[in-house]
Amino acid sequence: MIPLKRRKVSLTVSQQNDTCRFPHLSIFILERKMGTSRRAFLTRLGRSKGFRIKETYSSSITHIVSENNSGDEVQAWLDNQTGRDTNDTSSSVCLLDIRWFTESMEAGHPVTVQDRHTLQVKPKPNIDPNAMLMKSYACQRRTPLKHHNSFLTDALEILAQNAEYNDNEGRSVAFRRAASVLKALPHRVKSMEDLRSLPCLGEHSQRVIKEILEDGSSREVESTRRSEQYQAMKALTGIFGVGVRTADRWFREGLRSPDDLIRTGQQLNRAQQAGVQYYDDLQKPVTKAEADVISDIVEKAVHAVLPGAEIQLMGGFRRGKEVGHDVDFLITHPEEGKEEGLMPKITNWLEEQGLLLYQKTTRNSYLEKMDGPARAPNNMDRFERCFSIFKLQASAESCTSNSTASVQDVSTGSETERHSDQHSEASDWRAVRVDLVVSPYSQFAFATLGWTGSKLFERELRRWAGQEKHMSLSSHALYDSKQNLYLRAKTEEEIFAYLGLEFIPPSERNA
């Protein structure tokens, strides 16, 4: 008997030599409940008989063949691939039992499809069309920046944030998924009936929504918002360089604010020291006008040390936001390898101009052969990057047309000269968080997708890739576990296509 691994490989070797005798048929064999080796055997058999057997599903498929699946199961799988309404009967795809395929193999040609070959799909009860259009994954939905249900989503996001503060990631994600569904609705929710059949709305979220719809507010949400723990954790995690665990430890030690850290003489690392020193500035939203000025400065810095490099404004601003809490940039160069070691050169240029109040640079530690399929997909990439705090002129918004002036107007000074008592309300500059990321050109499309956000949208993309496509997606690459290979892409559109998803532009990824 030929070993399993050898049989899988031989499929791709021989398939190109088979002649298609029935071009009007395009068959997809569903692996579900069948297994890889049997599907490979049936694929080889079909091609040897002159049938066109496709490896992946596409709109060109005319016949789907499955074994040991009900019609409802195959229809549900098909709906997941196409994003169609289950009640939509316009599809011309034939859902067939394996018997049709085996009889066709014996006959040497496609036999006539009879009732005994066809998988029956039970009609679904009438459901609100709005609900049917709402897919369960956020990466399947278009979520605009402005929506109709902020009075509900703000409440759910407070509970999500509080769950995160309490190290309950599962509950936090559940609340955020519920909020994401409400953001994608094309209308304002007026009653619980509007939520009928919507995905991702757990019992807890529905209780909160019901109370807000009936009473105007939720006692749980208001109690959480006013709680000492929530307010303290929000203040402490708002410090640059402070995570949930550190903030929780400080809270248990009786600390409630940045002032408490100063008063008690807490031991802080460099990032946390900068976070406390510039706390008030970093709590203020960054405007799009300020982001544009910083973009001009970064572009000037990058081109000064690497001509021909490409710079892209990322994060919420790429999704169309007018304000944000920081500014993210992705940098690359069309000639692979020229971007290596770029970040220290950029930061040196910025420091010479007196533009950096704080910076920490990390090297690129990603190795595809080691970190690809073996590494669980998550939101942490391994690019060369710099977490920094920029010193930006307060008049920056009026200088968007002259980035050179913005650079020259920023006063220079050493690290020791920058003290919080010198930075008063009347200061002519402010501190702004800026993240700089350098990506190799071959990974730029994946990095662009990963750094555009939103956070939940990216999480759902990775979940879809793993659970629905048996792929591993990161900001570096897309790996297909079935084919045992990396899928290369030059654009975000290509990545969505690999994943079998409709392309969603950045402005509608605000999940």
Catalytic center residues: 326, 328, 435
Closest CA to 435 of 290, 331, 284, 335: 331
Distance CA 364, CA 340 (A): 8
**How many alpha carbons fall within 13 Å on the CB side of residue 201?**
23
φ/ψ region of 7 (left if φ > 0, alpha if ψ in -120 to 50, else beta) reads alpha
Distance CA 447, CA 385 (A): 12
CA 510 to chain centre: 10
**How many alpha carbons fall within 13 Å on the CB side of residue 416?**
0
Distance CA 195, CA 181 (A): 10
In single-letter form, the type of residue at position 148 comes to H
Distance CA 243, CA 241 (A): 7
Could you tell me if 446 and 474 are in contact, meaning their C-beta atoms sit under 8 angstroms apart?
A: yes
DSSP state of 140: G
For residue 46, the tally of other CB atoms under 10 A from its CB is 22
For residue 507, the tally of other CB atoms under 10 A from its CB is 14
Phi/psi of residue 413, each to 5°? Answer: 165, 155
| Integer CA distances (angstroms), 117 to 26, 54, 70, 103, in order | 17, 20, 12, 10
Could you tell me if 291 and 392 are in contact, meaning their C-beta atoms sit under 8 angstroms apart?
A: no
Q: At what angle do helices 150-165 and 219-226 cross, to 10 degrees?
A: 50
Distance CA 52, CA 135 (A): 32
Sequence-distant (≥ 6) Cβ neighbours of residue 208 within 8 angstroms: 155, 156, 159, 218, 220, 221
Q: 313 forms bridges with which residues in the sheet?
A: 329
